[in-house]
Amino acid sequence: MKVLIVASALTLVGSCATPSHTDKLQNIKDSIVFTDANIINKYANTITSAELNTHVYKFSSDDFQGRKTGELGHHKASNYLKEYYIKEEVASPLGTDNYYQNVPESYFTDGIKSSSNVIAYIKGSEYPDEVLIISAHSDHEGYTEDAIYNGADDNGSGTAALLEMAQAFKKAELEGFGPKRSIVFLHLTGEEVDLTGSRYYTEHPVFPLHNTIANLNIDMIGRIDDSHEDNPNYIYVIGSDRLSTELHYISESANENFTKLELDYRLNSDSDPNQYYSRSDHYNFAQNGIPVIFYFSGTHDDYHEPTDTAEKINYPLLQKRTKLIFTTAWYIANNEKRIEVDQDS
């Protein structure tokens, strides 16, 4: 009887000492503090609707012939990205002036020729081997005899966001506020053809996948869908809680502190018939156990049509959504510890 009493007492103590699930969530929330909010705001505010406008108009212009994977127009668009990074002094991890990760023709089907991912990065000051990847696909649907599929929203909007964030992080680095972890700016080819560029990257990573701490992926964030005509201050957030509870709350805290968008999670549901979680480049990273967030503003009547043009982008809203991604990335890159993976998706 005495032994049973002691065992029961130990069980009770152990039960009381073990935090509940609610307590654990609250501890995660409480641990996420933006102590350098003024500094973050300073560089977030260098992301402007005017510069986003310039990039979208250029990237979705007829000059790039709809940016079809493996074709001349996409090669020209990739060169535009390369020249931008050289001008902004954002380095390549592949060597001097070499920003291209070639994806060979053997990776594609239907006679698609070889194409390239474009990669730039800022090296971390304290944990350079730990890498945050921010990505957006650069390809689109090409052209026909009658029309060019310019792809301003899909994915000129995400591409412009990536370029603006790279510029902001570089400016911060030059002024003594460089990221503690390395940040990779990854423009992926072949998203429109079975997520081929991201599949190639994850099978031939430039940085080891076990040291890739998160992927923030951007695909179509420049428009307003039918569900939000009366409330355009939103962004769909997909996948944030699938592998890391912490990543989800970092995203929410960044939004609360800096942008106050409506974070719409309806497309994150397993029961969503569109299954967007598996339909853009983040999915190949998630399949390798890397926490992801997919940022998306929804489809519209111009989706995959020649009418997806630059004048239809909401640039102030694109600016605000880009700031959300930037501030989330800032925290991930500068926190004292890397994001914890605590979910099995």
Digit-coded pLDDT (tens) for 47-101: 999 999 999 999 999 999 999 999 999 999 999 999 999 999 999 999 889 999 9
**90 Cβ contact list (under 8 Å, min separation 6):** 120, 121, 122, 166, 167, 170, 185
Strand partners, 140: 68
Question: Is residue 303 in some structural domain?
Answer: yes
Question: Is residue 227 in some structural domain?
Answer: yes
CA 160 to CA 77: how far, in whole Å?
Answer: 12
The residue type found at 114 is: S
Question: Is residue 255 in some structural domain?
Answer: yes
CA distances in angstroms from 95 to 92, 114, 131, 206, 333, listed in the order given: 6, 20, 17, 12, 23
Question: Is residue 18 in some structural domain?
Answer: no
Question: Is residue 4 in some structural domain?
Answer: no
Question: Is residue 3 in some structural domain?
Answer: no
For residue 256, give its domain range.
23-271+283-334
Question: Is residue 2 in some structural domain?
Answer: no
Query: For 1-19, what is the mean pLDDT?
Result: 40
CA 164 to CA 239: how far, in whole Å?
Answer: 23
Burial of 171 (0-12, 13-18, 19+ CB in 10 A): middle
CA 132 to CA 149: how far, in whole Å?
Answer: 31
Q: 6 pLDDT band (50/70/90 cuts)?
A: very low
pLDDT attached to residue 216? 99
CA 156 to CA 220: how far, in whole Å?
Answer: 8
Closest CA to 181 of 238, 234, 129: 129
Query: What's the sign of the alpha-carbon dihedral 225, 227, 232, 235?
Result: negative
Question: Strand 234-238 vs strand 181-188: parallel, antiparallel, or unpaired?
Answer: unpaired
Proportion of the chain in helix, strand, coil states, percent, rounded to 5: 45, 15, 40
Residues 162/227, Cβ–Cβ less than 8 Å: no
Count of domains forming the chain: 1
Question: Is residue 198 in some structural domain?
Answer: yes
pLDDT attached to residue 11? 36
Q: For residue 307, how many C-alpha atoms fall within 13 Å in the half-sphere facing its CB?
A: 5
Pure H helices in the chain: 2-17, 21-31, 37-44, 49-59, 72-87, 158-174, 196-203, 245-254, 282-286, 315-334
pLDDT attached to residue 18? 59
pLDDT attached to residue 96? 85
Digit-coded pLDDT (tens) for 95-135: 889 999 999 999 999 999 999 999 999 999 999 999 999 99
Digit-coded pLDDT (tens) for 260-279: 999 999 999 999 999 999 99
In degrees, rounded to 5, the angle at the alpha carbon of residue 55 between the alpha carbons of residues 52 and 58 is 145
- CATH code for the domain of 287: 3.40.630.10
Q: 31 pLDDT band (50/70/90 cuts)?
A: very high
SS3 218: strand
pTM for the predicted model, two decimal places? 0.94
Question: Strand 181-188 vs strand 292-296: parallel, antiparallel, or unpaired?
Answer: unpaired
Q: 21 pLDDT band (50/70/90 cuts)?
A: confident
Query: What's the sign of the alpha-carbon dihedral 243, 278, 74, 55?
Result: negative
